[in-house]
Amino acid sequence: MNYPEIKITFLGTGTSGGVPMIACGCYVCSSPDEKDKRLRSSILVQSSRTTLVVDTTPDFRTQMLRANVRKLDAVIFTHPHKDHIAGLDDVKAFNYFQNKPMDIYANELTQEALKREFSYIFADKRYPGVPSVTMHTITDKTFIVGDIPVTPILVYHLQMPVLGFRFGKFAYITDANRIDDEEKQKIIGSDTVVINALRKDSHISHFNLQEAVELVDEMEIPNVYFTHISHQLGTHEEINYELKPHRQLAYDGLQLQF
């Protein structure tokens, strides 16, 4: 399969509450370092022809403005939690300027949540200004958005199935605390992997930092960035100092080329 050259932009690298967290005065939330200011987790994937985003967070509008995104071909969803779907309404701006529905890709579980949370988008009688979308169902097969092949990776967020995605040499996984051996094979061989590392303490449904490090070391991934980070983990500078050079925290605005 032919893979185009792609650019990855981290639109957000924070957990559901973001960093700084509302009403928190901890040293991480009070940090002046811009790398400690984290919107909710999402990435932008761009080739010369195609632009897609993984998840529409509550910060979607801010993220699109900050990254100066003028064209968007599709949204790919990982799972139905609110911090990953809440910004869907704002695709209506792209509907207006591109004069066409937005292609959205999701598994059946996420589709059910989208139809429930945004019932007005999917209603038979639609009022003016409502977002227009075309729904596509993600299975376990590789699919192509524009010229970008996308391979789904099934992971688990406690009991919830969540989708990670591989784009050629790059793989993106968020909201996971278990990956079965068969799905690890889809990740192995990647040059760069992004994976969630919520905090240092254990968590019921997220990898903590140690678990995430051990997992990518087991799979012998050359380059790793951690995302979906909470204020409980520590500052960007102190945690990166503790990590190996090729295992580092991602930050909002970070760009990678493949």
The pairing of strands 223-227 and 170-172 is unpaired
Write down the pLDDT at residue 156.
97
Q: Which domains does the chain have, with CATH numbers?
A: 7-257 (3.60.15.10)
Comparing CA positions, the residue from 146, 169, 12, 31 lying closest to residue 86 is 12
Q: Are 244 and 209 in contact (CB under 8 A)?
A: no
Query: Distance between CA atoms of 67 and 65, rounded to whole angstroms?
Result: 5
Comparing CA positions, the residue from 219, 173, 171 lying closest to residue 198 is 173
The mean pLDDT of the chain is 97
* Confidence check: pLDDT of 94 > 90: yes
Q: What is the pTM of this model?
A: 0.97
Name the H helices within the chain: 60-66, 82-85, 92-98, 108-117, 119-122, 181-187, 209-218, 236-242
pLDDT band at 125 (very low <50, low <70, confident <90, very high): confident
**Mean pLDDT of the 176-188 span:** 98
**Mean pLDDT of the 21-38 span:** 98
Write down the pLDDT at residue 1.
83
DSSP 8-state class, residue 142 = -
**Mean pLDDT of the 54-60 span:** 98
Query: Distance between CA atoms of 93 and 83, rounded to whole angstroms?
Result: 20
Query: Distance between CA atoms of 235 and 104, rounded to whole angstroms?
Result: 34
Comparing CA positions, the residue from 247, 242, 238 lying closest to residue 33 is 238
Share of the chain above pLDDT 70, in %: 100
Write down the pLDDT at residue 126.
84
Q: Are 57 and 81 in contact (CB under 8 A)?
A: no
pLDDT band at 127 (very low <50, low <70, confident <90, very high): confident
Write down the pLDDT at residue 254.
98
Query: Distance between CA atoms of 102 and 133, rounded to whole angstroms?
Result: 5
Residue 178: is it exposed, middle or buried by C-beta count within 10 angstroms (0-12/13-18/19+)?
Answer: middle
Residue 227 CA, chain-centre distance (Å), reads: 9
Comparing CA positions, the residue from 38, 110, 48, 109 lying closest to residue 73 is 48
Write down the pLDDT at residue 128.
87
Write down the pLDDT at residue 2.
87
